[in-house]
Amino acid sequence: MRLTKPTLFTNIPVTCEEKDLPGDLFNQLMRDDPSTVNGAEILMLGEMLTLPQNFGNIFLGETFSSYISVHNDSNQVVKDILVKADLQTSSQRLNLSASNAAVAELKPDCCIDDVIHHEVKEIGTHILVCAVLKPLDVKTKFYNAETDEVFLEAQIQNITTSPMFMEKVSLEPSIIVTTFGSRAYLQPMDTRQYLYCLKPKKEFAEKAGIIKGVTVIGKLDIVWKTNLGERGRLQTSQLQRMAPGYGDVRLSLEAIPDTVNLEEPFHITCKITNCSSERTMDLVLEMCNTSSIHWCGISGRQLGKLHPSSSLCLALTLLSSVQGLQSVSGLRLTDTFLKRTYEYDDIAQVCVVSSAIKVES
């Protein structure tokens, strides 16, 4: 609110001749009005002061004054509050804050009051910018996995001038289960990265359509303590991801070993889902060998009809002729109804070691 000096209240006189119909009514009302001067009611002179009803104009050389109030509307005690006020002109940004020190504590229904002043030395528009600064900067990224898992990367930076102890950084998920990392100190301007792996709950795991459409993941709840043990808390709004597009048919891996022996068969389990909500598919599975991965079994086998939003699991066998980290590739699904083929390469990676090295189960 701008602080300006009050002005004298002026009343617009309403009067008439005595021979007119109202007679002396208007004159008597003016004489009874407390804002008029006795004996000079029609001269628009007042004895009362009035506060400004709008911001008004300010002229070069005058002093701009403003009253700033920060009110705690919550029922919680808020700590370490820093209020910043800047005046933006056409050529510069001026800091008008009376104090750069943080307020240690603000109780419910209490206020932080401040009065700022500035002598106007430029002509043109001036913009007053007031902000209550936040102590943490939070950035998030989402990664959608092929196994219905969602990975959330959260970067939390301490943008204050003092160290803080991260007492709690947790994710409150929507319909997804999560795990949480360890606690840590956070020095000024340091950033700590948290990675969450979210998996669908059992009651939603078989409903491909529901998981595909989930965009609201949850919200982060962050609790910290400063070096003197003062506690603070920040909760983000609901975090949203871009819904993944799986196309008509989705192939995902349900089970695969981490490490296998060279030239020895190993087994994987694949899940095929008809992502269409209307169309039934008649699928044929083809298995194409690569230079390092060889499939064991009959290629071109009929999988039968797969109804909309339904899934089926396949147990497949393959072996590798090359050591090292090898990519599982070469699966082809053909829908005989539409004569459309779906190719799946780089489904997963497996570590192939010499058969002389014992693979732990």
Q: Are residues 327 and 343 in the same domain?
A: yes
Provide CB contacts within 8 A for 69, sequence distance 6+.
1, 111, 112, 113, 114
Maximum Cα interatomic distance, the chain, rounded to a whole number of Å: 125
Quote the CA–CA distance of 130 and 86 in Å, as a whole number.
6
Q: How confident is the model at residue 285 (pLDDT cuts 50, 70, 90)?
A: very high
154: left (phi over 0), alpha (psi -120 to 50) or beta: beta
Per-residue model confidence (pLDDT) at position 326: 93
The domain that holds 154 is classified in CATH as 2.60.40.10
Domain boundary among 103, 132, 161: 132
Question: How many structural domains are present in the chain?
Answer: 4
Quote the CA–CA distance of 295 and 320 in Å, as a whole number.
9
In a domain, 139, yes or no: no
Find the domain containing 39 and state its range: 7-50
The predicted model gives 121-134 an average pLDDT of 82
Q: Are residues 17 and 76 in the same domain?
A: no
Quote the CA–CA distance of 55 and 69 in Å, as a whole number.
17
∠ CA(354), CA(256), CA(302), 5° rounding? Answer: 115
- DSSP, collapsed to helix, strand or coil, labels residue 31 as helix
Cross-strand pairs, 306: 281
Scanning the structure block, which residue is given the tokens 């119909």?
Answer: 21
159-183: pLDDT as tens digits? 877 788 888 888 877 655 544 445 5
Question: Does the structure show a pLDDT above 80 at 274?
Answer: yes
Cβ atoms within 10 Å, residue 5: 8
In a domain, 358, yes or no: no
Q: Are residues 290 and 304 in the same domain?
A: yes
